[in-house]
């Protein structure tokens, strides 16, 4: 019997949420765009997705969880609490995350974190090689697994490996500050195709790789250890049809109307982020405070709906940020509110995708102002939810999405005055101008969706492998 080759997706987290209640493990599929986009791959045939189940599972229960996951083509990599602390919270989120988002002073360059990161990447490699057969294709995702491409390559020199980084890749002058920079670059260079959200990220990677190794760049191709490695921008899209469908759903539409009714004569500014210092949440609140202070004519006329989704709250900087946000929201509300009007409606929790769809449809303005962001899918979800082609998107020029959504009001999130101006412009934007801008952004988001992104990456991976093979046979 000829064994069919398969595709193996690998990411830090599996695309399911596992919870434990009264000693029973429950699985619920992830609603995320990546899980949807890659569903067309990992759910098919003998393809699989390898990753961490997202919680610590005691050894005696691991077999049971493994069996449940296998029914969904998912293979778990179990991590102990020490591994989660050193590899995930430590190296990934206290070193790579701040440095790659240009917040070097937030980084905690602990040797023990590096040791744990290497060990866990090794653990992922063992899980992959257990399932790997000749002819298989591998697609590795994100900054938690930067060493994995080369670890696999060392064992299987001819295997096909794609790697995509979902967060920015910083300029070399920032990247070089990491004590283990050569090892990281060497790890990534184990892949055949490297994908980033933007051309700038790709360029930064090529620059770091060519300075730190003896690899030679020729345009977007690096020649390293006799291999050709292609580096390209693949701007990620969203599941546009899902947001379109949700917005048209009668239950969601009814909910949208009730939100709108409760906000009559008030311009609603929506922000939705994971709790993260890279998202510019404090700066945005400062801009609102300045607007209300300098422009009292807007008192009682606008409201900020601010959804902050809990995230990484075991990492010290995230806990600190939560306290700062709580305090600033409290100050603004205490200073400007009236009996019948509240300037900031702050939610610290996650919501169903149906609720998000309704609030995207109800909000007059969406304010997306990260200090730095690989792409930012919230901006695209807002656009996809504007069936009537109205609404205004204010978008940070530091988000990858700003390279595509040129018709947003683009701001520098470090310039509080600039954000105030943009909010005033958005509040007063004529309907015709809103339509022109939104229409063009909707065409972009609908065309360059998550399915096209997956297709483009996989097509390119095949093309790169064919190019490499033809070079070797010459
Ligand atoms: O943006 C990068 C990313 O890793 C996403 O892939 C993920 O959804 C998000 O950050 C949250 O990450 P975590 O797994 O740390 O909760």
The 10s digit of each residue's pLDDT in 149-200 is 999 999 999 999 999 999 999 999 999 999 999 999 999 999 999 999 999 9
84 Cβ closer than 6 Å to some ligand 1 atom: no
Task: Catalogue the active-site residues.
Answer: 166, 373
Residue 472 has pLDDT above 80, yes or no: no
Q: Is the pTM of this model over 0.90?
A: yes
The CA 60 to ligand 1 mean position distance, Å, reads 28
Q: What is the mean pLDDT of residues 14-40?
A: 86
Residue nearest to atom 11 of ligand 1 (CA): 311
The 10s digit of each residue's pLDDT in 49-68 is 999 999 999 999 999 999 99
Q: Which residues of 233-252 are buried (b: 16+ CB within 10 A; e: fewer)?
A: bbbbbbbbebbbebbeeeeb
**Tell me, what's the ipTM?**
0.95
Tokens of 394: 């204010």
166 Cβ closer than 6 Å to some ligand 1 atom: yes
The CA 349 to ligand 1 mean position distance, Å, reads 16
What's the order of all strands across the beta sheet hosting 267-274? Answer: 344-348, 302-309, 267-274, 365-368, 392-396, 409-411
Report the atom number in ligand 1 closest to the C-alpha of 12.
14
Residue 288 CA to residue 324 CA, distance in Å, equals 15
The CA 15 to ligand 1 mean position distance, Å, reads 11
The 10s digit of each residue's pLDDT in 420-453 is 999 999 999 999 999 999 999 999 999 999 999 9
Cβ-count burial of 157 within 10 angstroms (0-12 exposed, 13-18 middle, 19+ buried)? exposed
13 Cβ closer than 6 Å to some ligand 1 atom: yes
């Amino acid at each position: 019997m000829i064994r069919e080759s398969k595709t193996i997706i690998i990411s830090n987290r599996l695309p399911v949420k596992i919870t434990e209640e009264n000693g029973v493990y429950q699985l619920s599929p992830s609603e995320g765009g990546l899980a949807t986009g890659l569903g067309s791959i990992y759910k098919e045939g003998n393809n699989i997705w390898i990753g961490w189940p997202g919680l610590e599972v005691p050894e005696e229960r691991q077999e049971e969880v493994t069996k449940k996951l296998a029914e969904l083509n998912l293979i778990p990599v179990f991590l102990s609490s020490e591994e989660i602390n050193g590899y995930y919270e430590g190296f990934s989120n206290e070193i790579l995350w701040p440095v790659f988002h240009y917040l070097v002073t937030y980084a905690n360059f602990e040797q023990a974190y590096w040791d744990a990161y290497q060990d866990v990447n090794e653990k992922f490699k063992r899980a992959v090689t257990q399932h790997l057969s000749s002819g298989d294709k591998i697609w590795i995702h994100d900054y938690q697994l930067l060493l994995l491409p080369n670890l696999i390559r060392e064992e299987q020199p001819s295997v096909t490996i794609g790697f995509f980084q979902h967060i920015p890749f910083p300029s070399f002058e920032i990247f070089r500050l990491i004590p283990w920079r050569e090892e990281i670059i060497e790890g990534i260079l184990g892949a055949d195709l490297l994908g980033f959200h933007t051309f700038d990220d790709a360029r930064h990677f090529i620059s770091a790789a060519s300075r730190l190794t003896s690899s030679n760049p020729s345009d977007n191709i690096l020649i390293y250890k006799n291999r050709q490695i292609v580096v390209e921008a693949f701007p990620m899209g969203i599941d546009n049809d899902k947001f379109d469908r949700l917005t048209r759903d009668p239950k969601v539409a009814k909910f949208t109307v009730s939100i709108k009714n409760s906000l009559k004569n008030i311009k609603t500014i929506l922000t939705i982020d994971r709790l993260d210092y890279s998202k510019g949440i404090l700066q945005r609140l400062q801009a609102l405070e300045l607007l209300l202070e300098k422009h009292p004519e807007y008192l009682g006329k606008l409201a900020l709906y601010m959804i902050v989704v809990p995230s990484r709250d075991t990492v010290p900087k995230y806990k600190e940020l939560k306290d700062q946000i709580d305090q600033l929201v409290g100050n603004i509300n205490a200073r400007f509110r009236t009996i019948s009007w509240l300037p900031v409606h702050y939610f610290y929790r996650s919501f169903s995708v149906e609720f998000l769809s309704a609030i995207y449809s109800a909000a007059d303005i969406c304010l997306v102002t990260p200090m730095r962001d690989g792409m930012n899918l919230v901006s695209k979800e807002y656009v996809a939810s504007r069936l009537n082609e109205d609404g205004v998107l204010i978008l940070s020029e530091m988000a990858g999405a700003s390279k595509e959504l040129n018709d947003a009001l683009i701001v520098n999130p470090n310039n509080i005055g600039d954000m105030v101006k943009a909010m005033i412009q958005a509040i007063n934007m004529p309907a015709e101008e809103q339509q022109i801008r939104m229409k063009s952004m909707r065409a972009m988001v609908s065309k360059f969706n998550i399915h096209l992104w997956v297709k483009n990456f996989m097509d390119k991976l095949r093309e790169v492998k064919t190019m490499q093979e033809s070079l070797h046979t010459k």
